[in-house]
Amino acid sequence: MHAPDPEARPARGRRLTRLAAVAAGVILLAAIGAALAWGAIFRNLPNAERLATYQPPLPTQVRAATGEPLFSFARERRIFLPYEEIPKVVIDAFLSAEDKTFFSHGGLDFPGIATAIVTNIRGLFSGQSRPVGASTITQQVAKNLLLSNEVTLTRKIREAVLARRIESILTKEQILELYLNEIFFGRNAYGVEAAARTWFGKSASDLAPHEAAFLASLPKAPSAFDPRRNYARALERRNWVLSEMVANGKLPAQQLAALQARPIAVAEESRAAANVAPYGSFFMEEVRRQLIERFGETAEDGPNSLYAGGLWVRTTIDPEIQKAAEAALRDGLVRYDRVRGWRGPAATIALGEGWQKRLRALNLPVGYDSWRAAVILARQPGGFRLGFGDGSTGTLYAGDAMMARGGIPAYQQLKPGDVVPVAPTGAGSYALRQIPLISGALVVQEAHTGRVLAMVGGFDSRGSSFNRATQAQRQPGSTFKPFVYAAALDNGMTPASLVSDGTFCVYQSARLGRKCFRNFGGGSAGLQTMRWGLEQSRNLMTVRIASQTGMDKVVKTARELGIGDYQPVLAIALGAGETTPMKLVNAYSILVNGGKEITPVLFDLVQDREGKPIFQADRRRCDDCRAAWKGQAMPRPVDTRRQVIDARTAFQVVHMLEGVVERGTATRLNNLGVPIMGKTGTTTGPKDVWFVGGTPQIVAGLYMGFDQPQNLGGWVQGGNVAVPIWRNFYTAVWSESERTPTPFIAPAGIRMVRIDRRSGRRVFGTWPSDAPKAAVIWEAFKPETEPRRIVSAPAPTRATPKKVVRTIRTDRDFLAQQGGLY
């Protein structure tokens, strides 16, 4: 034997040392890699505990003042159902389709994961592009609410970790409640309740087993299993879910064949599903704007946001009044437009394959529910064959297309491919209509509260979302004059003050020279009372009154009433400053409300998703309103609203505006049987026509004009165009039997005195009559401002015993003889 080499032992030791160092390095690198992987996977991992207080985004539900559901502001259509209210058949269907062992696993389905791993390994060699997952419902909740949809191993690991954490925080019922209220079903429906209503037009509680199975088949791929696109695939998937329900003991086996034979009959998407308000679209848009301003738009803006907060909003809109306002304004716009003749088709599309889709895409703003957008498919004997967006057809006879352009009737100019609005005239027959170019707005407000009962901002919001009621800055013309008179009454003048209706000129500047004003119809009438000047809308009297009062006081009154902030120039007195219909209607409401401040209110109450009030429009204090009733007098809220103008001045203006209706420029309203005040307006051109007025209960105002102002025609005035629209609106809402002749209430300090209507002199010995143009009328005065001159009573027409007539020279004499104030 050879003896061991003493030098070999140190060499072997060095090799072992090097191997140990390499191994240590590998272990260190592995540890570093593991740490980096752990950090990549678990860095910024969401906190699963927040799911315990998670609130899904819910739409804002809007109701009319009557409580009628009206609209839903939603980007995700969702109706939250607590677990206790989710039907068992729905739960059974989803567990059978998605997670059979949900109530027994701890968040992860390990046998399913093993199967998925084997399937994915096989997929690597078979060219399978997308890996197969084995997600439980808990994992889907983690992914949907806490993670993204990226398809990576890292996301799956994070999802698994979160699923385990969720199971330790929430009960199975809470997890399932989150899942069934969060998942997407197509048609913009999220959650089983919204899905049931969207797909079947019924609540989830009314679903049959085959319908629940269909919903359970959708979350995997809603568009792929949409029966409208791929009926066979949708039916196969639904029937698979039904068979799984039978296999899991959720349905009797003997029912399977019958259930699988049932067709998938889904509901058509309704107006509500399309998120279109049945009426009041301009009103709804203004509500949307105000809610966003107050509460925010998305969940990032706060818990009560418009599109995620689940708010319940009670608006002030009155359905009957809103519909009447829409119809009256549209009718007026169409009436005016027809006089100007036919302008040609609204659009032209290509016929052939897909014409229905192209027609629907136009979304023609036809305004009326009865009008339809139609395309001329072909000319036929006596007229045309029409096609509609739903594929149906109809007939347009030549006699129903007589509107002319350039003297040539429309039926001679229409051709295939032309798109026109039509209105039904009988079974399958239609008449040609035209969308008016002219537009306008109508606003109706409760006079003493500011609640907006109706708002129409144009012919149809589909044509333009521009809300002319709140956004259109227009010159009010003569509807501004009452506020000139209000400023004058606040500064020493009375309704009986005499003002010259004569030439009035002012020197403007060296460049502009001398400006002379004129009345609308020309001419002058000499000395007249202020009342007569307002009733007849005399420009010369108005500018003279404004000049005597001071334009600084006039514009201050306009500013206080919220009409606008103007320069103190005389043209403003004739309505040359711009304002919106909403502001002008609100100012008239302040007059009716005794000069007290009013703010337009579009919603009375807003509640959060739990039903807690978070906004109330009426903030008046009422200490006893919640007290038990024990026969005491009705409690009254404390009215702390600011007094904008003198209550007596406000009543004097209202009283004069009644004269505008009785014998002035709005006499088309004087036979309605109720006290009505109001004022017409016609701007230079004329480019706009107005009427704003109302009763002691409501104030309504409207204007008509082109969005790009142009001449309406020399015959157009507020009295003959705007007033008839107002009348049609009013009579549509309040029938003759419903009209209550409640007078405008005079405030304390007003003295009702008999005067001669034309001269303004005080009258004794005779009484006013109900005749609109009676010589003697009651006039409203502030104390010590009534006229002192006396007009003798007319001589008796037949012999009567002589009466002793005492000359009344002071208020004391008047009170002693008459026994009170009138």
240 CB-side CA count, 13 A: 12
For residue 673, list its beta bridge partners: none
Q: Residue 151 in contact with residue 135, Cβ under 8 Å?
A: no
Give dist(CA 796, CA 798) in Å, integer. 6
What tokens does 769 get?
Answer: 């009559």
What tokens does 459 get?
Answer: 């012919």
User: Which of 72, 96, 98, 305 is the catalytic position?
Assistant: 98
Give dist(CA 388, CA 356) in Å, integer. 7
Q: What region does 251 belong to: left with phi over 0, alpha with psi -120 to 50, or beta? A: beta
Give dist(CA 741, CA 752) in Å, integer. 19
Sheet (strand 790-791) strand order: 776-781, 751-756, 762-763, 790-791
Question: Quick one: which of 751, 765, 761, 755 has its CA closest to 821?
Answer: 751
Q: Residue 733 in contact with residue 763, Cβ under 8 Å?
A: no
Phi and psi (nearest 5°) for 796? -60, 145
Give dist(CA 100, CA 118) in Å, integer. 20
The yes-or-no answer on residue 193 being catalytic is no
The yes-or-no answer on residue 326 being catalytic is no
User: Which of 72, 135, 305, 478 is the catalytic position?
Assistant: 478
Q: What region does 477 belong to: left with phi over 0, alpha with psi -120 to 50, or beta? A: left
Q: Residue 180 in contact with residue 80, Cβ under 8 Å?
A: no
C-alpha 221, offset from chain centre: 35
- DSSP assignment of 639-658: ----B-S-HHHHHHHHHHHH
Give dist(CA 553, CA 568) in Å, integer. 8
The one-letter amino acid at 278: P
What H or E segment, with its residue span, contains residue 506?
strand 504-509
The one-letter amino acid at 504: F
The three-state secondary structure class of 604 is strand
Give dist(CA 730, CA 61) in Å, integer. 30
The one-letter amino acid at 35: A
Question: Quick one: which of 589, 591, 598 has its CA closest to 447?
Answer: 589
Query: Known catalytic residues?
Result: 98, 478
